[in-house]
Amino acid sequence: MTMDCGEARARDTADEVARRSYGKLVAFLAARTRDVAAAEDALSEAFAAALADWPVKGCPENPEAWLMTVARRKWIDAGRQRERSGVVDGDLEQIAAIGAAPEGGEIPDRRLALMFACAHPAIDAGIRAPLILQTIVGLDAATIASAFLTSPAAMGKRLVRAKNKIREAGIPLRVPEREELAGRLETVLEAIYATFAEGWSDGAGTDTVRRDLTGEALFLARLVATMLPQEPEALGLLALMLHAEARRRARRNERGEYVPLASQDWSLWDAQMIREAEALLVRASELGAIGRYQLEAAVQSAHVARCRSGSANWAAVLEIYDALFAITGSPVVAINRALAVAEVRGAQAGLATLPDRATDARLAEYQPYWAARAELLARAGAGADARHAYDVAIGLERDPAIRNFLEERRGAVG
């Protein structure tokens, strides 16, 4: 069945499907044939066909099914052109089986099942989460590169190599058995957190796509925590995300201006989310295995206590960052740790512990590094250097409200 559908409505329908289902459709297509790049090509051709067909013949009632059918035909045609005799209709009919999680199955959600499938141990560890973000979540290489502090070109090449390896080595993208889930959990949690962080970057909540990413990530994190209640890091990640989401309303004032954590009206925070996050942290601590997400959630918990009580518990925050940096060695953690060091030992001490961009090229275009450096330089009385660092941070920032905030901070430097 089809509905009347002009060019504008056809474009809107295609855009909506792309936001909602692009990654899922690619994963369905690639699940059995293991050729992710070819799946993307076939789906792109299907979208092009939709924009030509729907304005004339009407929009289908189920546009995802229409696109899947056309993409399958495109895949078969491409296979015949390449004289690859192994691609037949029978194979393609089974491609979507990976997404049809049966009632009572180990993984009760299609998208989560596909994430665990793409976390296959034969795929290089460093590219598993980015691969999930592209093929399942639908993020582009540039967005993924930003999340992993690398260049879009480098990330694009790594993703292409990973897809080629899946195809050439015949790596099976199947839903893992129950006993395999724990070995793949770290990758899945990393991908869920990166999805949440991309949605979180829309502080005003005006970007529909990013707002949907936040909701999707919270849903998936909650599902993993329910499915694997004895995995402390699954509980820790959900606690971390709930602490962050609880502050959403306070991140902007009534004029739409950015409000940093220290200045937020904590009465606007979602108290129920914070209580749930705290309960999850207690449960995780009882399982006896500390990890990255529990520590990051503990930092957020300490900030909540600090803001609500008005007491400066920076020594406790620094202690948590010390443990977190020991586990991760992450430059992002190192930057936040340097800010905590400054609160405890002074700006000069903070500057001394800030990562050196001369030894880590990834920091050169990382806005939080420059904003932190500018803040510490200003506190240390190095006005000219602080203004330069603020200039760089302002140039790298995408969010107009945060740019305005940084410009105000720059203007206040003596």
pLDDT digits (tens, 9 = 90+) for 182-218: 999 999 999 999 999 998 876 555 555 566 788 889 9
pLDDT (tens digit, 9 = 90+) per residue, 241-299? 999 999 999 999 999 999 999 899 989 999 999 999 999 999 999 998 999 999 999 99
Q: Assess contact for 238 and 193: CB atoms under 8 A.
A: no
Comparing CA positions, the residue from 79, 198, 89 lying closest to residue 137 is 198
Give the pLDDT of residue 92: 30
Does residue 159 surpass a pLDDT of 80? Answer: yes
Query: In terms of C-beta density within 10 A (0-12 exposed, 13-18 middle, 19 or more buried), how is residue 26 classed?
Result: buried
The pLDDT mean for the chain works out to 85
pLDDT level of residue 97 (50, 70, 90 thresholds): very low
Tokens of 46: 């299907």
- The maximal CA–CA distance of the chain, rounded, in angstroms, is 72
Does residue 57 surpass a pLDDT of 90? Answer: no
pLDDT (tens digit, 9 = 90+) per residue, 11-54? 888 888 887 777 777 767 766 556 677 777 888 888 888 888 88
